[in-house]
Structure 1
Amino acid sequence: METIIRLSVALGIFCIMIGWEYVSPRRVQHISRKQRWPVNLGLAAFNMAVMRLSLGGLAYLSAVTAAGQGYGLLNRLAAPEWLSIIATLLFLDFAIYCQHIVSHKWPLLWHLHQVHHTDLEFDATTAVRFHPLEIMISMLYKVLCIVLLGANPWAVIAFEIILNGAATFNHSNINIPPAIDKKLRWLIITPDMHRIHHSTLPAETDSNYGFSISCWDRLCRTYVAEPRQSQTAMAIGLTPFRELHELGFVPLLLLPFKALRKR
């Protein structure tokens, strides 16, 4: 049931975003959807199958197990449910923010995470362009965080839904009036804010790491308000890969291992 709920909400948000992109796009895309979408959506389908056969549902199950066995800080303190829900949502969101930074700084994880950044355009499908090994490592990391915290099981489901929905939203190529975007940024990550993170300029790639709420970037001083070029003109992706043709499904799966071999 947990998986059905998450997938239904994720699919609904995805459909809304691609419809919005079609009606009111923020940027003109120079690489067609026919070139990019089969790769990005192919990775998403492959990752879902891999997780279904391996670690799928582990986050929720680990929270239930921790609650039953009394593991974790919140369970030890017998925190009231309202507090455990808020603490779980905030702690997991900050944990993912930290993981994102480490994925850029630690070469072994960067070899996996760069698959996400090799997309030469930026839209809702970019949100699902991840290497399966990175997805699995992320799940194991979340399980560790859930057990140590004693996370609320229902809050874990809510967090997974929020994380997926927020990622689809802030990767989308939708046009939000700048005045509204500026106000939204005080609470959530907007597409214009996160697009800066996908810039080819290293100083901009190393910024705006958040996925859901924007406070972590502001508090940890990783926030960049505007790119050096305009939002509609800035180059997206990683510079070495912009000189190549769009990477296909199999090359993306092999990309991290090629990088390791070069090292």
Structure 2
Amino acid sequence: MTEFIQSHEPAMRLGFFFGILATMALWEILAPRRKLSLPKAARWANNLAIVFLNSFLLRFIFPLGAVGVALLAYENEWGVLNQFYIPDAAALVVSVMVLDLAIYLQHVMFHAIPVLWRLHRVHHADLDFDVATGARFHPIEIILSMVIKFAVILVLGPPVLAVIIFEILLSTASMFNHSNVRMPRSLDRLLRSMIVTPDMHRVHHSILDHETNSNFGFNLSWWDRLLDTYRDQPEHGHQKMTIGIREFRQPRQTERLWGMLTIPFAGKVTGYAINRRWNSSK
């Protein structure tokens, strides 16, 4: 079974990507949470353009991918989990949770270190918040993220199946929790006890610094609660909150491919973004 999944992993990931993209896009049409401020067609065209650019670069630079690195670690018995006998199910669960925690910590790091925040601003500079925002990242950030992921895999030594599952979860969860969808408050409360919901993550895309520097989780919602970065709701409410970054408000820069690619090299970062999260009460 694992060998079948491994051999079909690229097709599975692609299928899940387009499947969740189509599902959430339809949900956004039927039950939008907020009214968008910009025409969707142009935004989507440019956001998806950077997705395809990133996919091409990753395939060219890292042909093995995360699954290939996990297989390499397994064959050479590298990593902590490969040094002990651990039941397959336990190794699977532990690996997915540790990888998810690593992504949380990486996300915090990209807010805390100025040069990394420059890269991550591309994701936050989107003036609207919908499913297309979930895959919008600067190519250099994507490359650095992949290197960090490789390092975690080599140190941890997770099962190959765990890495496949995590890679699928990471992309689908990102599109789900960036979606501009309305759901009953009771359902949101139930889901966010386990996973990051759109209402929970939307707070993270607020123009207000103390809201931007909260709710860093991508999949499991536990890390924000355990590590004191959780914020329940935006102080101005979901309908009135402003999405984006204060320094970048012109669509020609924030919503066009060339503009997105140049954001890391524009302006100054005068202080650590994360240092401003304590300026307001939770």
Equivalent position of 1:250 in the other structure: 258
How far 1:72 moved relative to its partner?
0.6
Rounded Cα–Cα distance in structure 2 between residues aligned with 1:81 and 1:262: 48
Rounded Cα–Cα distance in structure 1 between residues aligned with 2:269 and 2:110: 19
Rounded Cα–Cα distance in structure 2 between residues aligned with 1:178 and 1:61: 41
How far 1:52 moved relative to its partner?
1.4
Equivalent position of 2:175 in the other structure: 168
Equivalent position of 1:119 in the other structure: 126
Query: 1:110/1:154 Cα in 2 relative to 1: closer, same or farther (>3 Å)?
Result: same
Q: Which amino acid aligns with 2:9?
A: E
Rounded Cα–Cα distance in structure 2 between residues aligned with 1:166 and 1:56: 24
- Output aligned runs, 1:169-208, within 5 Å: 169-208=176-215
Q: Mind listing any 5+ residue stretches in structure 1 that lack a counterpart? A: none
Q: Mind listing any 5+ residue stretches in structure 2 that lack a counterpart? A: 1-7, 272-282
1:236 aligns with 2:243: yes
Residue 221 of structure 2 is aligned with which of 214, 221, 224? 214
Matched position secondary structure for 1:241: coil
Q: Which amino acid aligns with 1:256?
A: P
Per-residue CA deviations over 1:21-59 (Å, capped at 9, x if unaligned) read 011100011211023111101111111111111114421
1:15 aligns with 2:22: yes
Normalised to the residue count of structure 2, the TM-score between the two structures is 0.90
The count of residues paired between Structure 1 and Structure 2 equals 263
Identity of aligned pairs, percent?
41
How far 1:230 moved relative to its partner?
1.0
How far 1:262 moved relative to its partner?
10
1:42 aligns with 2:35: no
How far 1:243 moved relative to its partner?
5.2
Matched position secondary structure for 2:262: helix
Q: Which amino acid aligns with 2:156?
A: L
Cα RMSD between the aligned structures?
Answer: 1.7
Rounded Cα–Cα distance in structure 2 between residues aligned with 1:243 and 1:252: 11
How far 1:261 moved relative to its partner?
11
Equivalent position of 2:9 in the other structure: 2
How far 1:105 moved relative to its partner?
0.5
Normalised to the residue count of structure 1, the TM-score between the two structures is 0.96
Runs of at least 4 residues off by over 3 Å: 243-246, 258-263
Shifted more, 242-251 versus 211-220: the winner is 242-251
Q: Which amino acid aligns with 1:108?
A: V
Rounded Cα–Cα distance in structure 1 between residues aligned with 2:250 and 2:59: 35
Matched position secondary structure for 1:189: coil
Equivalent position of 1:69 in the other structure: 76
Rounded Cα–Cα distance in structure 2 between residues aligned with 1:157 and 1:79: 19
Equivalent position of 1:99 in the other structure: 106
Matched position secondary structure for 1:239: coil
Matched position secondary structure for 1:8: helix
1:154 aligns with 2:161: yes
